[in-house]
Structure 1
Amino acid sequence: MATLVDTPVFIGGLGVYLPDTVSVATAVERQWYPAEAARTSELTGVAVAGPIPAPEMALWAAQDALKRSGHRGADLDLLLYVDTWHQGPDGWLPQSYLQRHLDAPDVLATEIHSGCNGVLVALQLAAGQLAAGSRTALIVAADNFGTPKIDRWTVGEGYIPGDAAAAAVLTREPGFAQLLSVCAVSVPEAEEMHRAGEELFPPPITLGRDLDFTARATSFREQLKRDGVGTSSLLKVHGQTMAVADRALAEAGITLADVHRVLFLNFSRPMVEQRCMAALGLPLERSVWDFGRTVGHLGASDHLVALEHLVTTGQAGPGDHLLLLGLGPGVHLAAAVVKLLDQPAGG
């Protein structure tokens, strides 16, 4: 991305709120989660926040990120609030809650609702704003899936949604890490994958229906068997996943051999291996699956939580390159390369 060559963008601080986990073994014992799914996924735990509102978790993560970066809310030029699930009352905006409690009334603030890729979208938008003259941006992601109309144990195939919040302060001033590249691509002809069998209006949630990606996936597979529609788009999704990774690496000026770890979504072992690591030609050990399997798929927070985990546990350090790779409904694909320069403050 040319802007990152012309205007270096750094990560000045990270903040994470990760609640206690519920073991998958307990979920199986209580018949929340099928034993066969536990065996095939090899997932072991899920972070569960109970009644803590997602915006409250977001505030805690944001406060930590700002403190570690040496900035205050008043220093911000941009606030991007990323989420995948409902945040509070309809017609109310969670970013305004953060503005109020971070004392950042004049910052440009908006919500990003781009699924699991939301943080990577936010990185690209923030990089563009910093290149245009802004000095400090805050990216915050948060979700609490423990609500009616979603059953975290059955909503999807190959993953279990977990609750968390994560934040990153991006700045033009030197930080502990540098964002070397970030890019994205979409395969819009595959958008039906995430809505198969569902009408567009009225929105099903307004009719009191549960979110059920498992049922939609079943409907989509049945459609493929019936008329083959969508097969070419699925192949294109795979090809574009590799293409966007290659582009991010090229823009960062490195190759796959230079990548220390790949930060993908916290899916099951088969999904991480097949959709990401095997496609890249890398072993599972070069991913963060060993950590991700213990906390669940944290909505849009997966990448930032994994980044914080790697640097605070010493599994990645100065000089290491990290490839962030993800996909979301749309189908939207994105990748970014981050180079660690120093140990983060408070890490």
Structure 2
Amino acid sequence: MRASETFISSLGAYIPERVSVDDAVRKGWYSAESRRLQEFTSVAVADGISAPEMALHAARDAMERGEHTPDELDLLLYCDVWHQGPDGWQPQYLLQRELVGGDALAVEIRHGCNGMFSALSLASDHLLATDGRSAALLVGTDNFGTPLIDRWSASTAFIVGDAASALVLSKRPSAVQLLSVNLLSVPEVEQTHRGGEPLFPPGATVGRELDFDARAEHFQRAAREDEGGTLMSLKIRQRLLQTVHRTLVEADIDISDISRVACAHYSRELVEQWFLGAVDIPLSRSTWTYGRTIGHAGCSDQFLALRNLIATGQVRRGDHVLLLGVGPGVTIAAAVVRIVADSVK
């Protein structure tokens, strides 16, 4: 969808202390072989800081950097992947109580690792639906340091990191213009993230540990038996290319206009093969060197990376940044932003 009438007024983040992967190998948490294959250097670990508390820190950071006051917010979208707190409680209302106030619509979004892309799409439509709406606060947050997941071995594709991201989306012109955002699905492969596990009772209620690799292996084994594994991989890649193409067309630019690519924080091999290979952009123009220091932080990766590009002066006026993501579904997400001012908050 075209979104050029909306702007990212400010970006916020909360990134806890990083743990060196070398230390993790020495302590037996992480294997030397995984270190060699994935090429991460560190991972952000929040310890006892809850995901909602990190979200509040990131949201305050974004609000302090932006031009909107809390009473100007019309929408609060709270994105997450992992458990946030007590069952029966919803975390977005903590942010309303502490920061936003009760006038804005507040909704939790659980759309996997592409949650913030979904929030961008929904928030843009919400703001543009009527003249009286001004701005929306979007946050993404997760702390994976719980008994039912081992951050070091949950997937061969990544190490799981803890962090929170936040942004204020506004109709008021500002330094970062959102040009377009799209999400497309490949529902034929939804079992990739489900595997052979029963739908009921849910795994978390019976103490079943999350193991993405085991689920993927179960699906791939079944696909090989049906001789459909290669076809499914081609379908995912085709959908990625389609998503990128649509997003660039709606942004009225070509791939040659892209200055940097912000990807999910996966292993170098996956980033190069799946994301950068599809758009024919070298690793040096991606945000992988930043992401390898944090780990895969749920739905926050691309927005932490965008904030880092801006904060470190790696993008300037006129540059375009392509944000790419993949998540359960399987969903493919893409967005394009344009830097329209030299001073970015």
Shared fold, TM over 0.5: yes
Query: Is 2:176 the counterpart of 1:193?
Result: no
Aligned to 2:144: 145
Aligned to 1:214: 213
Q: Is the 8 A contact 2:75 2:105 kept in 1?
A: yes
Separation (CA, whole Å) in 2 of partners of 1:199 and 1:34: 30
Separation (CA, whole Å) in 2 of partners of 1:112 and 1:231: 32
Deviation, structure 1 residue 20: 1.1
Separation (CA, whole Å) in 2 of partners of 1:331 and 1:221: 14
- Residues 116/93 of structure 1: CA separation in 2 closer, same or farther (3 Å cut): same
User: Which of these residues, 33, 37, 40, is aligned with residue 37 of structure 2?
Assistant: 40
Aligned to 2:105: 108
Q: Deviations over 1:97-130 (max 9, x none)?
A: 0000014211001011011101111000011011
Query: Is 2:24 the counterpart of 1:31?
Result: no
Q: Is the 8 A contact 1:72 1:102 kept in 2?
A: no
Aligned partner of residue 138 in structure 1, secondary structure: strand
- Residues 128/332 of structure 1: CA separation in 2 closer, same or farther (3 Å cut): same
Q: Is the 8 A contact 1:311 1:344 kept in 2?
A: no
Separation (CA, whole Å) in 2 of partners of 1:25 and 1:146: 19
Q: Deviations over 1:315-347 (max 9, x none)?
A: 1121110001111100111111000112455x5
Deviation, structure 1 residue 223: 2.1
Give me the CA root mean square deviation. Answer: 1.2
Aligned partner of residue 299 in structure 1, secondary structure: coil
List runs of 5+ in structure 1 lacking aligned partners.
none
Aligned to 1:269: 268
Q: TM-score, normalised by structure 1?
A: 0.96
Letter in 2 for 1:17: Y
Separation (CA, whole Å) in 1 of partners of 2:227 and 2:292: 33
Aligned to 1:286: 285
Q: Deviations over 1:156-186 (max 9, x none)?
A: 1120110001100011101110000011111
Deviation, structure 1 residue 75: 1.3
Q: Is the 8 A contact 1:190 1:230 kept in 2?
A: no
Q: Is the 8 A contact 2:73 2:100 kept in 1?
A: no
Separation (CA, whole Å) in 2 of partners of 1:103 and 1:301: 20
Aligned to 1:64: 61
Separation (CA, whole Å) in 2 of partners of 1:36 and 1:223: 27
Aligned partner of residue 77 in structure 1, secondary structure: strand
Query: Is 2:84 the counterpart of 1:93?
Result: no
Q: Is the 8 A contact 1:190 1:234 kept in 2?
A: no
Aligned partner of residue 88 in structure 2, secondary structure: coil
Aligned partner of residue 325 in structure 1, secondary structure: strand
Q: TM-score, normalised by structure 2?
A: 0.97
User: Which of these residues, 11, 17, 20, is aligned with residue 20 of structure 1?
Assistant: 17
Deviation, structure 1 residue 29: 1.2
Aligned to 2:171: 172
Q: Is the 8 A contact 1:81 1:140 kept in 2?
A: yes
Deviation, structure 1 residue 218: 2.1
Separation (CA, whole Å) in 2 of partners of 1:250 and 1:258: 12
Q: Is the 8 A contact 2:220 2:229 kept in 1?
A: no
Letter in 2 for 1:110: V
- The total of aligned residue pairs comes to 343
Aligned to 2:155: 156
Q: Is the 8 A contact 2:195 2:219 kept in 1?
A: yes
